[in-house]
A and B are shown apart, each in its own frame.
Chain A
């Protein structure tokens, strides 16, 4: 009975052959290494440009907004001044509605969402808890929520403008309206310090390098590193072939090279 490898047409080479072809093995190893590194590299490039990833980020952002703003709203109902109590209640209600839509879409698109607020959001909740009832709480509440809504508003706007998914587009439309309302309500408390908000990041100059391809600088750096890696691998391979030839001639002893090994 013939072995599987014989059937497949290639048997295991004896060690002596392996010994002879050692430089070749080394070259193959380098090529395999480069390919192995290329594979995840190209996969990560594909991921960051695929629309589904940005869709997933939107779901995550809206989900986590609800996870800290609903408890914030509850707290506002207890610790806020009358206007902040009302705003907190309305925000809690709207985020309940948004969260239902978020979880439904998360399930439909098979894109899981977190079930905990981020560390940063937990820090804001702790700040709200530490604030004394009345004006101090009002200020923390209005400013933390207003800043967070501004960030989510940006993500919603980008996805509303550019998503390829009909479901996500509809979801972003709804979310945009809710977040717009919340920013306006928070501002109606008169507690928002606009100078503390990040300035609008709208480009007034020419597009940066890589913009037409939708590449950011880290992606360009990855491509650069890949070129370097390929170049290094090729260099190494050529060296191996060269030194192999040199050894095959065996006319020159390896110790003939001179160079100060001392000092």
Chain B
């Protein structure tokens, strides 16, 4: 029989408790859905698994033909919204005129609000008869809907992002019927669940 030195016994008790404690706290930290201990930026990419690129904004992807395709989309909060074929929001400008169609956004304005070029892809869920085009002051063509010249906002970063809504109190997302969308997500929520 091996004689165990006396101090070893309590030390063993302490170590066991310590091991138990670390095991338990480690478990507690990861049990919250598994994401609590997640690394933030720069997570390791696993080999053999591919992450697809997201649809890009007009600045990153200006020559994509789908950027000229008009599409009506129903969002969960704002209802019908006009977007391009990649899902990015299309805007109209209150200081433009629809009749006759004319753009008053030129120079620096037109680098921030990029005019939508006419394209070849057929519109989806948009009345074809509402779609037209104008020649801008600089000679380039621009698509219109119900007479309103159409734009992308360079500040939008996601499909259906409406970050340009209400800027200069003149820029609004446009609905497939040509009306401007002033409703915001917060207003929608308050209306949807209010008395």
Contacts and interface: CB of A to CB of B under 8 A. Distances in A.
Asked if chains A and B come from one complex, the reply is yes
A97 B31 contact: no
B52 A173 contact: no
Nearest to A117: B51
A224 B162 CA distance: 52
Contacts of B33: 57, 61, 155
A96 B76 contact: no
B7 interface: yes
Interface centre among A99, A101, A129 (most CB of B within 10 A): A99
| A contacts with B: majority SS | helix
B87 A92 contact: yes
Nearest to A239: B10
Contacts of A57: 32-33, 35-36
B167 interface: no
Contacts of A243: 6-7
Interface string B67-85: 0000101111110010100
A97 B185 contact: yes
Interface in A30-75: 30, 33, 37, 40-41, 44, 48, 53-54, 57, 60-61, 64, 70-71, 74-75
A25 interface: no
Contacts of B163: 100
B52 A71 contact: yes
B122 interface: no
A119 B161 contact: no
Contacts of B39: 114
A261 B52 CA distance: 68
Contacts, number: 181
| B contacts with A: majority SS | loop
Interface stretch (B41-49, B91-99, B129-137): B41-49
A112 B40 contact: yes
B46 A93 contact: no
A235 interface: yes
B25 A41 contact: yes
A126 B38 contact: no
Q: In the complex, which range does the number of interface residues on chain B fall in?
A: 35 or more
Contacts of A239: 6-7, 10
A161 interface: no
Contacts of B3: 259-261
Contact of B49 (A30, A37, A123, A233): A123
In order of increasing CB-CB distance, the 4 nearest A-B pairs are A96-B159, A71-B52, A236-B10, A96-B158
Interface of A: 30, 33, 37, 40-41, 44, 48, 53-54, 57, 60-61, 64, 70-71, 74-75, 89-90, 92-97, 99-101, 112-119, 122-123, 125-126, 129, 155, 170, 173-174, 177-178, 181, 216, 218-219, 221-222, 224-226, 228-229, 231-233, 235-236, 239-240, 243, 259-261, 263
30 contacts: A48-B28, A57-B36, A71-B51, A74-B54, A89-B71, A90-B73, A90-B74, A93-B87, A95-B159, A96-B87, A97-B158, A97-B160, A97-B161, A114-B35, A114-B39, A115-B40, A118-B34, A123-B49, A221-B27, A222-B25, A225-B21, A228-B17, A229-B14, A232-B17, A233-B10, A236-B11, A236-B13, A239-B6, A243-B7, A259-B1
Interface of B: 1-3, 6-7, 10-11, 13-14, 16-18, 20-21, 24-25, 27-29, 31-36, 38-41, 43, 45-46, 48-55, 71, 73-78, 81, 83, 87, 157-163, 185-186, 189, 192-193
